[in-house]
Copies of this chain bind each other. A is one copy, B any other.
Amino acid sequence: MSAVRPVTIRDVARIAGVSLSTVSQVLNGHHGYASADTRDRVLAAARELNYRPNALARGLVTSRTGTLGLVITDITRTLFPKVVAGIEQVASQHGYSVLLTCAGSADRERAALDTLLDKRADGIIFMSNTTEAESGHLLMVAQQGVPIVAINRPLDTTALSQIVWDDVEVGRRATEHLISLGHRRIGHVAGTLAAPRRLSAVNRLAGFRLAMAEAGLPVDERLVIEGDFQHDGGFEAARRLLDLDQPPTAVFAASDSMAVGFINGLHRHRVRVPDDVSVAGANDDSCAVYVEPPLTTVRVPVAAAGRRAAEIVLAAITTRPTPPPIRETLAVDLLVRRSTQRLDSPVSLC
C-alpha cells in the first residue's frame, strides 16, 4: 500500500560495488570505458533490482526528454485521430512519447505551448486551426530553438517547418471530376465561411471556382450555399437547392459530413443519388465508404501528414547542425465511388 521508494542508480552502484559514474557509463553504453567484468556486474545489478532511470533527472541534465509535444484543436473532430495516430506511431518507433494538448483558441494555444515548453518537449507538432491567424507564439517556440512543425496552418514564414495540403486543389479535383462527367450546372455546399471562418472552407470554395472557370463554366451564385462542415448544414442545403427553379445536377460538398447530410436531404425529397444528382465530398471520412451510395470524395493525407511531421521534428531534434525548416506539400487524391455518375448517362446512349 505504501509507496515503494524507486530504485536509483545509487542502489545499483552499491550492489555492483562500483561508483555512480561507472554505472551511468555502462548503462548508457559509453563503450571503451568499463571492463567486461565491471560491465557485467553493473548490468546484473541493474537487472536484479529492476532499475529504471528517472527520466526527470536524466532530462534535467541532458536537456532531452524523449517527448514530443502535440497541440491539436479537438481529438473528436474528424481528421485529428488519424493525424495523432500517425504521429504516435513514428514517435514510439523512435522511442519518443507524445504529450497531447487540446486548444480551442489562440489563448489556449499559447498556454498549451507554454506547458509543452515548461515540460521540455524535445519538439512540437502543431495542428490547431483556430480562426485567429495570429501565430507569434509558434515563432516564439522556434526562436527558443525547439523544433516545431505546423500541419496545415497558413503561415507566411520560413522560420518553422510546415506540412500542408492544398485545399484549393481539394475543391478543384472534386469539381473537375464532376465536370468531366458532363455536369455543367454544379453547386457547392461550402464549409464555415462566416464569423469563425475556416480557411479550408475558403480554399475549397476557391478550388471550386477555379475548376469552373478553367472549364469556362459559369457559377450560379444561388448554387453556392454556406454550410458548417457538419451533417446538418448539408441537409439544410439540400432543401434550399431543391427549392430553386433549376437545381444543380451535381454538387461538391466541402466535407463528407455535409455530403452525407446533403444526400439525406435529397432522399427526404425523393431525389436520387447519383441518378438525379451527383454528389462529391471531401476528406474521406471513415463513414464515406459505408454510406449509401458510397461517397466520391477527395482524400486528404492526414495519416501521412502526422507521420511526416513526426519524422521532420525528430530529424531536427537528432541531427546536428539543425537542418533548416522544411515546407512540404502533400498530394490529395480523388476517390471515385458511387455517389457521382455521368450526366444523363443512360439517356445519352440512345
Contact = CB atoms under 8 A, between A and B. Distances in A.
Interface stretch (A59-67, A178-186, A212-220, A246-254): A59-67
A144 interface: yes
Interface in A94-122: 97-102, 114-120
A231 interface: yes
A3 B147 CA distance: 10
A116 B54 CA distance: 11
How many copies the complex holds: the figure is 2
Contact of A101 (B74, B82, B92, B144): B92
A242 interface: no
Interface in A202-228: none
Contacts of A2: 145
A290 B260 contact: yes
Contacts of A194: none
Contacts of A53: 118
B81 A85 contact: no
A76 interface: yes
A120 B261 contact: no
A57 interface: yes
A56 B264 contact: no
A97 B101 CA distance: 7
B75 A81 contact: yes
A123 to B, nearest CB: 13
A344 interface: no
A257 B260 CA distance: 16
Most chain-B Cβ atoms within 10 A of its Cβ — which of A56, A70, A287? A56
B92 A102 contact: yes
Contacts of A76: 81-82, 85
A331 interface: no
A81 B78 CA distance: 10
Interface string A234-261: 0000000000000000000000010011
A85 B92 contact: no
Contacts of A289: 231
Nearest to A267: B292
Contacts of A144: 3-4, 6
Contact of A264 (B54, B114, B292): B292
Interface of A: 2-4, 6, 52-57, 59-60, 65-67, 70, 74-76, 80-82, 84-85, 88-89, 92, 97-102, 114-120, 143-145, 231, 257, 260-261, 264, 267, 286-287, 289-292
Given A98-B99, A257-B290, A287-B287, 7 more contacts: A52-B118, A55-B119, A67-B119, A70-B100, A88-B100, A88-B101, A231-B290
